[in-house]
């Protein structure tokens, strides 16, 4: 008898302990990164390193602006490509497609989600980069090697398709049929109904999907690293090479750990990434809460 109760308690305390461990890990990551970046922050002015665009650590120039903007460029390009496509695709799947098509496409999306990023990177090098260089760039009269933020954006867009589509389809399916019927019975066309009922009702969900997509896009490392050109400059056009923060860390970490300032700079880059993703998720969570309250 006592053993049963004891087991009960064991499960309770055990799970509590594991939960605390899990939360602690996140805190420890933040603390560890901060401690490691302190040498850099003590030597340089924070505003200076965030706003300067000269990156030559061995000479003491730690300009992070090209990396921050590289991350922003690649992420924004991927959203410009992926979001409209995914919204239209999920509208089609929910409103127009037959059940059979919907049931076969959604599992396919999950398969896409399971493909390891390095394969997307290889695909980017073999297909996206040459196509950009030989066919797309000439249309705009630009001369490029193809290794560019545009290529990074395309690869990322394909990588965030699955997560966007699966969430958007889920959300669209929750829009009540009665509302749609009411709109249609007042004489609205299918498209007018979709714009004024479906999309309006599904807005918080769509934003949530985009937030998840962005979180994944900002942190994506190897696939982007393989196609974005890795030139520490501020991109001025879609066809310029860029250099996102995760690529910076992945490229230099193993080689430069033994040089204290360089190591500290890379740790600061990691902290920056952590803060950007954390802050972005926090803000979007607040926005979503407000939307849901009003919705």
Partner 1 sequence: MTEKRIVYTKHYVVQLLSLVFVLFTHACAPKPSNNVDASGRLVGNISISGAFALYPIAILWSEDFKALHPDVRFNISAGGAGKGITDVLTNMVDIGLVSRDLHQQEIDKGAYPIHVAKDAVIGTINSTHPNFELIAARGLTQQELVDIFVTRKYKNWNEIDSRFVAQPIEVYTRSDAAGAAETWAKFLGVNQEDLKGIGIFGDPGIAQAIKDRPLSIGFNNINYLFDLKTKLPSSGLAVIPIDINHDGKIDTEEDFYSTLPELTAAVAANRYPSPPARDLTFVIQQEHRDNALLKAFIQFVLEKEQQGYLLENGYVPLNEEAIAVENKKLLTR
Closer CB to partner 1, 66 or 205, in the complex = 66
Residues between 216 and 255 with contacts to partner 1, criterion CB under 8 A: 225-226, 229-232, 241, 243, 247, 250-255
Q: Rule CB under 8 A: which of 10-29 touch partner 1?
A: 10, 13-14, 17
Rounded to a whole number of angstroms, the minimum distance from the CB of residue 182 to partner 1 is 55
Q: ∠98-81-144 over CA atoms, to 5°?
A: 140
Q: Kindly state the smallest distance separating residue 22's Cβ from partner 1, in Å.
A: 13
Using the rule CB under 8 A, give the single segment among 5-13, 27-35, 198-206, 277-285 that binds partner 1: 5-13
- Residue span 139-178 as binding mask against partner 1, x where in contact by CB under 8 A, dash where not: ----x-x-x-------------------------------
Give the CB-side neighbour count of residue 254, counting CA atoms within 13 A: 3
Shortest separation between residue 127's beta carbon and partner 1, angstroms: 12
| Residues 122-141 as x/- pattern, contact with partner 1 by CB under 8 A | ---x----x-----------
**Quick one: 156 or 175, whose CB is closer to partner 1?**
156
Rounded distance, CA 177 to CA 179, Å? Answer: 6
Question: Which of residues 1 and 139 has its CB atom nearest to partner 1 in the complex?
Answer: 1
The yes or no reply on residue 260 touching partner 1 (CB under 8 A) is: yes
- Residue 17 corresponds to which tokens in the numbers above? 């302990």
Q: Does 5 participate in binding partner 1 (rule CB under 8 A)?
A: yes
Closest C-alpha to 69, from 56, 80, 53, 55:
53
In whole angstroms, how close is the CB of 65 to partner 1 at the nearest point? 16
Does residue 198 contact residue 91 with C-beta atoms inside 8 Å? yes
Closer to partner 1 at the Cβ: 195 or 256? 256
Residue 120 binding partner 1, by CB under 8 A: no
Report the Cα 86 to chain-centroid distance in Å: 15
Among 114, 258, 293, 294, binds partner 1 (CB under 8 A): 258
Least distance to partner 1, CB of residue 209, Å: 30
Helices (H), the chain: 2-43, 46-51, 65-91, 99-114, 117-123, 129-131, 137-139, 149-173, 177-185, 190-193, 199-219, 222-227, 245-256, 260-294
Q: Are 172 and 202 in contact (CB under 8 A)?
A: yes
Alpha carbon distances (Å) from 237 to 70, 149, 162: 11, 8, 27
Q: Within 53-72, which residues bind partner 1 (CB under 8 A)?
A: 55-59
Concatenated DSSP letters of 223-253 = HHHHHSB---S---STTS-B--HHHHHHHHH
In the complex, the smallest distance separating the C-beta of residue 150 from partner 1, rounded to whole angstroms, is 14
d(CA 257, CA 260) in angstroms, rounded, equals 7
Pick 60 or 295: Cβ nearer partner 1: 60
Contact present, 140 and 150 (Cβ < 8 Å): no
Residues that bind partner 1 (CB under 8 A): 2, 5-6, 9-10, 13-14, 17, 55-59, 125, 130, 143, 145, 147, 225-226, 229-232, 241, 243, 247, 250-260
């Amino acid at each position: 008898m006592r053993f049963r109760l004891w087991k009960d308690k064991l499960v309770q305390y055990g799970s509590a302990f594991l939960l605390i461990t899990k939360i602690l890990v996140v805190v420890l990551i933040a603390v560890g990164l901060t401690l490691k970046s302190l040498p850099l922050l003590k030597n340089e002015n924070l505003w200076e390193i965030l706003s300067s665009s000269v990156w030559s650590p061995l000479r003491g120039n730690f300009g992070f602006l090209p990396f921050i903007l590289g991350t922003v460029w690649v992420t924004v390009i991927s959203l410009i490509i992926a979001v409209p496509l995914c919204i239209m695709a999920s509208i089609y799947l929910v409103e127009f497609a037959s059940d059979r098509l919907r049931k076969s496409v959604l599992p396919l999306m999950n398969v896409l989600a399971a493909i390891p990023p390095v394969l997307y990177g290889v695909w980017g090098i073999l297909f996206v980069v040459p196509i950009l260089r030989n066919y797309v760039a000439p249309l705009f009269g630009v001369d490029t090697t193809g290794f560019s933020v545009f290529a990074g954006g395309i690869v990322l867009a394909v990588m965030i398709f699955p997560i966007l589509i699966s969430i958007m389809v889920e959300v669209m399916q929750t829009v009540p049929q009665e509302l749609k019927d009411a709109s249609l019975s007042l004489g609205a066309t299918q498209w007018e109904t979709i714009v004024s009922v479906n999309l309006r009702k599904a807005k918080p969900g769509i934003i949530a999907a985009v937030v998840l997509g962005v979180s994944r896009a900002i942190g994506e490392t190897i696939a982007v690293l393989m196609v974005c050109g890795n030139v520490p400059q501020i991109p001025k056009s879609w066809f310029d090479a860029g250099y996102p923060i995760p690529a910076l860390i992945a490229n230099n970490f193993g080689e430069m750990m033994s040089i204290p300032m360089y190591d500290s700079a890379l740790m600061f880059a990691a902290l920056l990434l952590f803060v950007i993703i954390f802050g972005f998720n926090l803000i979007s969570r607040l926005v979503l809460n407000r939307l849901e309250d009003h919705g």
